[in-house]
Amino acid sequence: MSNELHILQPSGSIYYGRIRSLAGQVWNTTIPGFENWSDGNVAQCDVPNGGLTDLGGDHHVGDFPACAAGIYYVDYFLRSGGSPAVGDRLRGQDMVYWNGSSRVTVIDSSGRVAVGSLPGTLEGALSIEAALRILLAALAGISTGGGTANVAFRDLADGKNRVAATIDLGNGNRLTVNLDGA
């Protein structure tokens, strides 16, 4: 991990980040791991330990901790004393999409959701992106086999079946369904 945390604040002061999980727990650098907040542990919850690096030009950077993939909040504080304290002033906030080893860019330069950017799975091992591809094919793709026992819904490029189903023509129930979100 390297320089995933960024904040623009005046140079000459020490800033640090505090990582929070969606469940509200904070990253403790000494465990290392997430725990419930305790005012007594504030000095152990600064990331990176010791403060962000001042690159000049009011740009401060730091490393995100080695933790599980997920979505995390980062609160940036101006350190007022020799170590982080409960009364330090909040100077900024961020949301980080983390894949377990690096920060993920969710929106590309054209303002679209970047391919490979959505962390997590839905049911079983079906990724969120695979689910979106399957849904798009079923809702907007070309279909083949209508009125027969074998129906398929194709991707928008008409290059592959995303959904292929065997239908019981007597009552219209799906007997088998094969999904391809890759």
Q: Could you tell me if 3 and 103 are in contact, meaning their C-beta atoms sit under 8 angstroms apart?
A: no
**pTM metric for this prediction:** 0.63
The stretch 89-107 carries a mean pLDDT of 86
**148-178 pLDDT per residue, tens:** 889 999 998 888 999 999 998 888 888 999 8
Question: Could you identify the residue written with the tokens 């000494």?
Answer: 30
When pLDDT is cut at 50, 70 and 90, the band that residue 33 belongs to is very high
Q: Could you tell me if 9 and 15 are in contact, meaning their C-beta atoms sit under 8 angstroms apart?
A: yes
Helices and strands (H and E) in the chain: how many: 1, 12
Residue 117, pLDDT score: 60
Which sequence spans correspond to the domains of the chain? 5-98, 128-179
Q: 153 by DSSP, 3-state: which?
A: strand
**47-68 pLDDT per residue, tens:** 887 889 999 999 999 999 999 9
